[in-house]
Structure 1
């Protein structure tokens, strides 16, 4: 396949929150890889909650703002169709998953291995850096991970899997840890799979939607679930978490919603010297139950994206330790149907968990 066989279209949003498909610039026939780049035909891209947030609200926090036409998407996998002159790790025909963050390689964060904190990172889909939701994209070979015969859809899931793996690692989950996971969205469900693979027991999952809890339990049958009643207090939810865990207070909370009441419930449920690790993205300013944290010596941690997770994620998937992860893909649409895909993903009544946009090879 050559890059001129089909037009390079992309999925755009703009400051008016319009979502549309248009030619991706530069035109496909004019694409040429830099010496350290490859051209990838993007075959599978998952829609992330941040994509929906950018499209519906035009920003995440005060700095990530859609100010002009902007291509979405950062959970992608595809096939290499051209390589730059200096690339030796990949050849045309290789199937790859695309790690979306390209750090500077020079700052203290990069040099100490924490490249997710690079102040100059070029993270695909975060304004103003265009994302992967287009037919062809140039990307540094260093950040293209070979997946061999792994299905493209699984390759696209490596991005949210890396988020969950980083959370489990940073929170310090170890064999036998009682864990509560707040939120049964894609990251919460994948975090449950990862916590199970790490040997956590028991694992309690909370959500406000019984359907999502049932879906998660179909993937991880040993899960204990808690349906959070609308209007109930965080203290009540915490007691339900402890009860679901058989009277055990969790040592670790993986908070995947970013919602203040959910954060409070997770904190209230923890044991002395427990860890509350915040993965979810929420309101810019939130309150915390300071004295509960203080007298119980609870550690609160935060996570920004991930670092050094993709090779690990590929090994775990290939080894079968995360069997069932592909089941979180509930809806599939062609690239030309991307507008409908976003409408489905952003509609709480659609029953979607992970929506995947696909382009034929």
Structure 2
């Protein structure tokens, strides 16, 4: 068997700042439409770090030991008899959430809103920082020959950005401002550019992030100031030549001051999309939203077609996710990697699977 002599070592969060490695049984296929994937690389998401640091995100609370990780790519090692789209040896990006397929959101094409979604590394479900991962075959996406497994691990955050940017309904020639230049914010800016936005502005409070944003594809950057939301919005309009505001503003930060400034920055009749998550409740400039008839939307994970589009953006060279990878570390250094992400030492760090060699 392909799994003989291989490790299914898993990186497990027991409680806040308490992680262990455990060799778990290799998952068994229980459906003829499932595949078993050897995980090659996994990226660290902000949500993973939040669970590591706080043990909860909103009402999702770690009550029992949980395997971390959900940004992964791997190689098919076995497939059920009804699987026709994939074969052993295929390299795939893993979509880590599995809906019920029967509820109204699922049937209407919005499966990301499924109330029964089983999402990796979201309590009570284990994640993908493990040796082998079992998945429905239609939630594994074959990577083109010119897309590496390392790039494949970044398809998940890119799909998040694709979904956010779709919500903004960006059209060629429009102007877009992205608040926050972390991985998702950077990817939103890159996707907006790929969609044909003529001006893409990245806003952050860290100059090094803005410097990288300019290299990554943003046409303009702005260092947010410690002034009122209205003043920040006015300064962005002036510095970036947006006299009427932006056609679309995306908040990828979740920070209250950023959200407030965003609403004042959207042009009359424009779009605002909330992608970043922060405090459950904030003060919100509702009057500005109303009098400018701004269309405001939330964005949650990704939905139909987002993974395929993300892969196409990478394969075509329109979004260069390689630039985001700061470092790749062996599986046994997973906790060190988490600490680096928490401290802001890297943009995106990949953890090699327990059976993957790192040079």
Number of the residue aligned with 1:224: 220
- The Cα shift of 1:356 comes to 0.7
Number of the residue aligned with 1:65: 61
C-alpha separation in 2, matches of 1:168 and 1:194: 7
Structure 2 runs not aligned, ≥5 long: none
Number of the residue aligned with 2:349: 355
- The Cα shift of 1:84 comes to 1.6
CA displacement 1:186-240 (0-9 Å, x = unmatched): 00101111011111122111001000000111111x52111113x3221221122
- The Cα shift of 1:325 comes to 2.0
- The Cα shift of 1:33 comes to 5.3
- The Cα shift of 1:355 comes to 1.0
- The Cα shift of 1:14 comes to 2.2
State which of 240, 258, 263 in structure 2 corresponds to 1:267. 263
Number of the residue aligned with 2:324: 328
C-alpha separation in 2, matches of 1:334 and 1:90: 28
Matches within 5 A, 1:169-318: 169-220=166-217, 222-229=218-225, 231-248=226-243, 249-308=245-304, 309-318=306-315
Q: TM-score w.r.t. structure 2 length?
A: 0.95
Say which SS state the counterpart of residue 81 (structure 1) adopts: strand
Number of the residue aligned with 2:20: 20
Number of the residue aligned with 2:3: 3
C-alpha separation in 2, matches of 1:289 and 1:117: 27
Structure 1 residues 89 and 40: alpha-carbon distance in aligned structure 2, compared to 1, 3 A threshold = same
- The Cα shift of 1:32 comes to 4.3
Q: TM-score w.r.t. structure 1 length?
A: 0.94
The reply to whether residue 151 of structure 1 matches residue 144 of structure 2 is no
C-alpha separation in 2, matches of 1:234 and 1:148: 44
Matches within 5 A, 1:69-218: 69-149=65-145, 150-218=147-215
- The worse-fitting range, judged by mean Cα deviation, of 11-20 and 39-48 is 11-20
Equivalent pairs, count:
352
Structure 1 runs not aligned, ≥5 long: none
Q: Is the 8 A contact 2:16 2:54 kept in 1?
A: no
- The Cα shift of 1:158 comes to 0.8
- The Cα shift of 1:78 comes to 0.5
The CA RMSD measured in Å over matched residues stands at 1.4
List structure 1 segments (4+ residues) > 3 angstroms apart after TM superposition.
30-34
